[in-house]
Amino acid sequence: MEEQRHTGPSDGSGRQPSGKLAFSSLGELALALSRGETSSSELVEAFLERANRLDPKLHAYAQLFEETARAAAKAADTSLSAGHRIGPLQGIPIAIKEIFDLAGQATTAGSDALTDRQPAVSAHAVRRLEAAGMIVLGKTRMVEFAFGGWGTNPVKGTPWNPWDLATHRVPGGSSSGSAVAVAAGLAPAALGTDTGGSVRTPACWCGLVGMKTSLGLIGRGGVVPLCPTHDSVGPLTRSVRDAALLLQALAGTDPEDPTTADAPTISPLVEIENGIEGFRLGVLGEGDLALVEPQVRQLFCKALSDLESLGATVEEIRLPLSIEEYLAGGGDIMSVESYRHLGSYAEPADSPVDPVIRARILRGRDISPTVYNQLLETRRAAQTAFAERLDGLDALIVPGCHQVPIPVDEVDEDVPPNAFGRFVNFLDLASLSVPIGLTTVGLPAGMQIVVRRYQDATALRIGRAFERARGGLVKRPPGL
């Protein structure tokens, strides 16, 4: 399997060199730990060294927890040496988006306005990862209050997309720092949230695997809310199997999140290697793909051809509504619910919230309860219509994003960065974003594998088949 490749250390000592560790998958790191080729302490030191050296430029981290990470790694090494292995993620570091509570650390969600969130208990998802033995390296930067897809944050600073070290390009948002940290080898994996593409867009633009999980699979307790109708928790990783490993660890009932009460138990790794022979996959028609840049379209078509070569059939379908209608409906719901949860921070005339984000939140104040209820009814009808259109298909395949990452100084905040982000949340679906190659100027593109709610394992199975066929998907950015 791809994630179990072992090229051996360069120094002949039996230990893994830090450069290889930084760009290894979780599966590879787990294997190295089990073989005694590295230790948890060495992993933590390797990532902290890179973060301290490279992050002044990349700006991925809001905070590094060096002392606590080292202490946790030492404890993990002691436990592993004694034969107390609790699972494949034990002793492996991870970064978390600054929207997650961490006990004893202030949660700011990328804003100077949020000064009153001083949690005594970590977020449910963080506790699940720590129970699996993972070690939190630090919190990553994000779009203020997670309300934006470009990845920009004038208040706290915008992370630098590592695929172009000469030009400051957008990393995608809102989980911008999480994606940059993993892509640049400052963490082996990271936790993000996705309300309208906030895991998938940065995964696409930073050349990673990223997953918008089904609502209810991963508890959102201890996560600063933006739009609970659409909010979800998801991983950013270096392989599809890594995403499945994290989903397996993260899934479970959260007393603080009622959407988890009725969610089924899924087993994302059980059939992940079974291939996609006989699968039926939908693809959008020319009208819905009109916005896709030519080079992205070329890479996307090649990816579809690869899926067909694996035994799947690809069939064109037409969405019941236009991409623009899904974008508009989802955006209105986000504004209403963001005002409900964040309006108190945006209302004051002297609010430190960035004017762009403040306007998005305050827009929800002007949408009446009647209109909001109509929006929810429209959403339910759209979900029914989409389910009927997808009947008989295993997944819908769409571009990860319609464009490549642009320079920060060219961003128009009034234009949605990803035409194929918001409709997944609006329709209550799950989606896995995977890399499909680089353009001629070396910028990443991706595709999304969109599935029905709770069919996350199917998306991972399709993504894994594609990953195996290509001999791996996530590459190391040049210069890093």
Distance between CA atoms of 385 and 426, rounded to whole angstroms? 13
Peptide bond into 174 cis (omega under 30): yes
Name which of 13, 4, 14, 17 is nearest 46 in CA terms. Answer: 17
Distance between CA atoms of 202 and 361, rounded to whole angstroms? 22
Give every CB contact of residue 480 below 8 A, 6+ residues apart in sequence.
54, 162, 165, 184, 185
CB 173, CB 152: distance < 8 Å: yes
Distance between CA atoms of 173 and 109, rounded to whole angstroms? 13
Name which of 198, 112, 97, 191 is nearest 156 in CA terms. Answer: 112
Greatest CA separation for the chain: 69
What are the structure tokens assigned to 377, written together? Answer: 């009814």
Using alpha carbons, list the distances in angstroms from residue 358 to 98, 147, 385. 19, 10, 34
Using alpha carbons, list the distances in angstroms from residue 272 to 19, 242, 456. 29, 11, 11
Active site residue 156: no
Using alpha carbons, list the distances in angstroms from residue 241 to 86, 129, 190, 211. 19, 16, 14, 12
319 secondary structure, DSSP code: -
Burial of 71 (0-12, 13-18, 19+ CB in 10 A): middle
Query: Of 198, 214, 351, 433, which one is the catalytic site residue?
Result: 198
Name which of 131, 240, 198, 224 is nearest 467 in CA terms. Answer: 240
Query: Of 40, 174, 232, 239, which one is the catalytic site residue?
Result: 174
Give every CB contact of residue 19 below 8 A, 6+ residues apart in sequence.
none
Give every CB contact of residue 477 below 8 A, 6+ residues apart in sequence.
162, 163, 165, 183, 184, 207
Give every CB contact of residue 284 below 8 A, 6+ residues apart in sequence.
316, 317, 318, 319, 396, 398
Query: Of 20, 25, 97, 212, which one is the catalytic site residue?
Result: 97
Distance between CA atoms of 395 and 177, rounded to whole angstroms? 29
Helix (H) or strand (E) holding 449: strand 444-451
Active site residue 97: yes
Q: Phi and psi at residue 383, in whole multiples of 5°?
A: -65, -45
Distance between CA atoms of 130 and 456, rounded to whole angstroms? 23
Active site residue 351: no
Active site residues: 97, 174, 198
